[in-house]
Chain A
Amino acid sequence: MTKRPLNLLWLQSGGCGGCTLSLIGAEGPDLLTSFAAAGIEVLWHPSLSAETGRDAIAVLERVVSGETPLDILCLEGSVMRGPNGTGRFHVMAGTQRPFMDWIGDLAAVAGHVVAVGSCAAFGGITAAGDNHVEACGLAYDGTEPGGLLGQGFRAKSGLPVINIAGCPIHPDWLTETLHQIAAGRFDRSQLDEWERPVSYTNHLVHHGCSRNEFYEFKASAERLCDLGCMMENLGCKGTQARADCNIRAWNGSGSCLDGGYPCINCTSPGFEEPGHSFTATPKVSGIPVGLPTDMPKAWFVALAALSKAATPVRLKTNATSDHLAVAPHDKHKRRP
């Protein structure tokens, strides 16, 4: 049975374009092969398509008029509502029209609406500071439901906006979701409480972290570049953050934590304003404020005290070293 190909339209507004750049790094297979495998045709993408200027506007107009049915609309970047709700901080080139108006018209006719990245989902980095640009997401304004399309918005498929949150996204988060949509197997059960795909948010960044042994013994890093666990001192939110970053390799082998810097919880609404320095853990009476999700505080404190008392010298030493100072060794045989 041959399936009708699904078409995909991609727009970019108040963002950095980094989700597209991350996406074209997709591997196993590459992005275009992945689209072909899912039966997805790119109607228009600002970085990849030939059509420019009036030809590109014509593509959008045909979608709005219903002449071209649209299966999947992807927005990358925040919705720019400022100044004073006019949308003039982003007027779409060649159209004299606020970009947010184009987004609204296109979302109204789309089968699925996908927010690509935390900007499009929640406002993201563009909404940081005093948010004088009035940036918001498609269906959220930070943690508040609403955004441009409103809490009750449903695409033609009946689904709310699908939020592929992340700053940037991992390419697989999007390609796998698109494959599920194309196969007709993406329903509400595939979304979490922020309408993010459970395929990656049913994990914590903590899962698979290569520093887990340090975590177990509360052997903490003190400076960025130390090998120890970054939760106690360096702001790491991996035990609370929802993503599979340490299970699914980035750029072949990496992750934030493997790269030596803390998780900043970039898949979460409001991550751009944590209320403290990104690389310092806020504490009350010496105890980190942000404890692991669903762990009773008293237990955490008790277990932490116990494990600190039991920390092997190897971990204690390595935790505050920028290189492996003490290697694991076999008790019965010395290294030459």
Chain B
Amino acid sequence: MSRLIVGPFNRVEGDLEVRLDLDDGVVRSAQVVSPLYRGFERILQGKQPLDALVYAPRICGICSVSQSVAAARALADAQGLDVAESGRVAIDLIHAAENVADHLTHFYLFFMPDFARDTYAGEPWYEAAASRFRALAGTAVEEVLPARAQLMHMMGILAGHWPHTLGIRPGGTTRRVTANEQARLAGIVSAFRRFLERTLFADTLERVAGFQSADELSAWREKKPASAGDFRQFLEISEALGLHQLGRAGSLFISYGAYHAAGGHLFDRGLWRAGEPAPFDASLVAEDTTNAWYQQSQGPLPPAVGETVPTDGTGKGYTWCKAPRFAGETAEVGAVARQLVNGHPLIRDLVGAGSANVHARVTARVLEIALVVIAMERWIQNLRPNGEFCNHAAMPADCEGVGLTEAARGALGHWLKIEDGRIANYQIIAPTTWNFSPRDAYGNPGALELALEGALVRPGETEPVAVQHIVRSFDPCMVCTVH
């Protein structure tokens, strides 16, 4: 048995280290280390409740709006406040723009460049992948950055700017959309659709959104050469490398439900457990700190009464990340979880009753780009310039609230308690906290730790490429993870 320490991981958001125990070129066990602690849960203590809307988005520069939405929902819950209907649509649009941009950034800037590594130089697909996706130099990035920037013009209209808007409030948004701006929003999304249909898919969004099975996806891939659309190029590489066998974690998936307009969710709230749907019960979430550098409580604590008291970073434990568990079980969150819970036939077919894998995670994310952009077009038409964008209510001096939403990377929750008009406790469980959690008191590994077991290390590799693919398939956001 030998130990390999891999890090710093780049092309993830934030800093990350992975410790691998190897035997015969196979990863036997893994420890995932989140090496940065910033202490937002402590910063928020004693603050005026609405000031959480300044601090919370700054937990994360890539999921900033998701943090705002979770905080606003927790505050609205505490106030007993309903969101104004047009404000709700505006929030969905702001949130969707961030999530779609994040999926796009992950695919082009973070994930695909690994296929341009020298280790793949002999592969038949290598030349095309390297010229298209090489970090900083591939031909894709010069098309993607302007398309992404133009999509983010939605933020200039709806939210002032991105990241770190203060325009998302418990009762809606601070900025009304005028009729001409509604027209501009439609134009922006239309231009983005054109980019996706030409560059990413070489097909219509509706065609991609409508895939019913893995077989149908394969047939679609084979109908055109791999150079027809960047998604197809991924599918070809994925097939060649067997990415569907790589990075299998557990079989429990959680989605808190995404996009809240019109009474329900665009993507449902719930669990997907070994191939069966089940309802989600927030009261069964608790955080274990056995292997994290925090003062230990008597057993796992539900976030509503959670504690964050860091130790000096030595002694028992190996990470600043706590270990959230659902009814004691490790869970995986993210686009794949959302689409499993929501019943997308392609993703259910790719995962079945088992665990997700690198191929399914990336496919789910790319699929979601199509699904969400189609929804955004509809929401823009639903905006009513003369409608109500923001409700207001007093903040009770003593109250509690929970804000659950879905960031690009998965389930995000804020739990807050207000006493004497000040924040008495504020706990955050971010998506990558779930996925990159350490072992709990029973020795159960987190989702990534489990997914890394069995990964093959090629002879002489110090940065095993299989490990790179598995880690990045989760689209980790380390700054959210510990916060």
Whether A84 is near chain B, meaning CB under 8 Å from some CB there, is yes
Q: Does A304 contact B (CB under 8 A)?
A: no
Docked Cα-Cα span, A90 to B13, in Å, equals 15
- For residue A256, which residue of chain B has the nearest CB? B160
Which of A25-33, A105-113, A144-152 participates in binding chain B?
A25-33
Identify the stretch in B168-176, B362-370, B433-441 within 8 Å (CB) of chain A at 4 or more residues. B168-176
In the complex where A53-B7, A133-B37, A225-B389 touch, is A259 in contact with B160 (Cβ < 8 A)?
A: yes
Q: Is the Cβ of A254 less than 8 Å from the Cβ of B36?
A: no
10 nearest A-B residue pairs (beta carbon) = A259-B160, A18-B61, A93-B7, A260-B174, A94-B7, A254-B156, A252-B153, A93-B17, A251-B156, A250-B161
B463 on the A face (CB < 8 A): yes
Taking CB atoms, residues of chain A closer than 8 Å to B42 are: 129-130, 132
- Cross-chain contact A24 with B50 (CB below 8 angstroms): no
Task: Select which of B5, B142, B173, B479 is within 8 A of A17 by beta carbon.
Answer: B479
Chain B's closest residue to A323 (CB) is B176
Is B117 interfacial (CB 8 A cutoff)?
A: yes
Proximity bits, A42-56, B CB within 8 Å = 1, else 0: 101111111111111
> A225 touching B62 by the CB < 8 A rule?
no
The 8 Å CB contact of B39, one of A91, A132, A250, A277, is A132
> Taking the nearest CB of chain A, how far is it from the CB of B29, in angstroms?
18
CB-CB under 8 A from A86, the residues of chain B are: 312-313
Q: Which residues of A contact B (CB under 8 A)?
A: 12-22, 24-27, 30-33, 42, 44-57, 80, 83-84, 86, 88-95, 99, 125-126, 128-130, 132-133, 135, 167-168, 223-225, 249-262, 264, 277-279, 322-323
CB of A133 within 8 A of CB of B390, answer: no
Q: How far is the CA of A52 from the CA of B157 in the complex (A)?
A: 37
Task: Give 10 A-B contacts (CB < 8 Å), ordered by A residue.
Answer: A18-B58, A27-B146, A31-B145, A53-B7, A56-B10, A93-B35, A125-B58, A129-B45, A250-B156, A262-B166
Q: Does B148 lie at the interface of the complex (its beta carbon under 8 Å from any beta carbon of A)?
A: yes
Contact present for B463 and A54 (CB under 8 Å): yes
- Complex CA gap A132/B14 in Å reads 20
A contact patch SS = loop
Told that A89-B39, A90-B35, A94-B17 touch, could you supply 7 new A-B pairs with CB distance under 8 A? A46-B11, A90-B36, A92-B8, A129-B43, A133-B39, A167-B164, A168-B61
CB distance from A288 to the nearest CB of B (A): 18
**In the complex, residue of chain A having the shortest beta-carbon distance to the beta carbon of B313:** A88
Q: Which of B18-63 contact A (CB under 8 A)?
A: 33, 35-39, 42-48, 50-51, 54-55, 58-62
Which one of A89, A135, A251, A254 has the highest number of Cβ atoms from chain B below 10 Å of its Cβ? A251
Say yes or no: B36 contacts A88, CB within 8 Å. no
Task: Determine the residue in chain A with the shortest Cβ distance to B58.
Answer: A125
Which of chain B's residues have a CB closer than 8 A to the CB of A322?
Answer: 176, 389-390
A168 touches B164 (CB 8 A): yes
Tell me the bound Cα distance from A135 to B162 in angstroms: 24
- Asked if B37 contacts A259 (CB within 8 A), the reply is no
Q: Which stretch in B74-82, B133-141, B332-340 binds the other chain? A: B133-141
Are B312 and A16 in contact (CB-based, < 8 A)?
no
Q: Is the CB of A51 within 8 A of B10?
A: yes
A52 & B11 in contact (Cβ 8 Å cutoff): yes
Those of B104-151 within 8 Å (CB) of chain A: 105, 109-110, 113, 116-117, 134-136, 141-142, 145-146, 148-150
Contacts of A250 in B (CB 8 A): 155-156, 160-162
- Shortest C-beta distance, A90 to chain B (Å), equals 5
Please give me the residue from chain B that is nearest to A129 by CB atom: B43
Whether A254 contacts B10 in the complex (CB less than 8 A), given A19-B61, A126-B38, A323-B386, comes out as no
CB nearest to B387 among chain A residues: A323
Is A279 touching B14 in the complex (CB atoms < 8 A)? no
Mask for B151-190, Cβ within 8 A of A = 1, else 0? 0111111111111111101001111100000000000000
A17 touches B13 (CB 8 A): yes
Contact of B166 among A19, A44, A133, A261 (CB under 8 A): A261
Question: Could you tell me the distance between the alpha carbons of A18 and B142 in the complex, rounded to whole angstroms?
Answer: 21
* Docked-complex contact A46 and B160, CB < 8 angstroms: no
In the complex the two chains form, is B165's CB within 8 Å of A18's CB? no
Asked if B452 is an interface residue, CB under 8 A from chain A, the answer is no
Which chain B residues have a beta carbon within 8 Å of chain A's beta carbons? 5-11, 13-17, 33, 35-39, 42-48, 50-51, 54-55, 58-62, 64, 105, 109-110, 113, 116-117, 134-136, 141-142, 145-146, 148-150, 152-167, 169, 172-176, 310, 312-314, 320, 386, 389-390, 392, 462-463, 468, 479
- A16-B16 Cα distance, complex, nearest whole Å: 14
A254 touching B6, Cβ below 8 Å: no
Do B8 and A93 have beta carbons less than 8 Å apart?
yes
A207 vs B10: C-alpha distance in the bound complex, in angstroms?
39
Q: Please, which residues of chain A bring their CB within 8 A of the CB of B156?
A: 249-254
The docked-state distance in angstroms from the alpha carbon of A88 to that of B46 is 26
Q: How far is the CA of A252 from the CA of B59 in the complex (A)?
A: 24
Q: Given the interface contacts A32-B141, A42-B136, A48-B136, does A91 sit within 8 Å of B13 by beta carbon?
A: no
Contact pick for B13, options A47, A80, A130, CB 8 Å? A47
Q: Is the CB of B462 within 8 A of A254?
A: no
**Chain A residues within 8 Å of B113, by CB:** 50
Q: How far is the CB of B394 from chain A (nearest CB, A)?
A: 12
CB distance from B416 to the nearest CB of A (A): 15
Report yes or no: A125 in contact with B39, Cβ–Cβ below 8 A. no
Known: A18-B163, A46-B10, A251-B153. Is A261-B468 also a contact (CB below 8 A)? no
Report the minimal beta-carbon distance from A81 to chain B, rounded to whole angstroms. Answer: 12
Q: Which residue of A lies closest to B59 (CB)?
A: A16
Q: Find chain B residues with CB under 8 A from A49 CB.
A: 10-11, 135-136
- Contact among A20, A21, A83, A254 for B310, CB-based, below 8 A: A83
User: In angstroms, how far is the closest chain B Cβ from the Cβ of A282?
Assistant: 12
Q: Closest B residue to A234 by CB, please name it.
A: B174
Are the C-beta atoms of A254 and B48 separated by less than 8 Å?
Answer: no
Q: A17–B161 contact, CB under 8 A?
A: no
- Distance in angstroms from B161 CB to nearest chain A CB is 4
A26 to B55, CA, bound (A): 24
In the bound assembly, the distance between CA atoms of A125 and B58 in angstroms comes to 7
Inter-chain CA distance A22–B39, complex, in Å, is 23
Q: What are the residues of chain B within 8 A of A254 when measuring CB–CB?
A: 155-157, 159-161
Q: Which of B5, B154, B158 contacts A94 (CB 8 A)?
A: B5
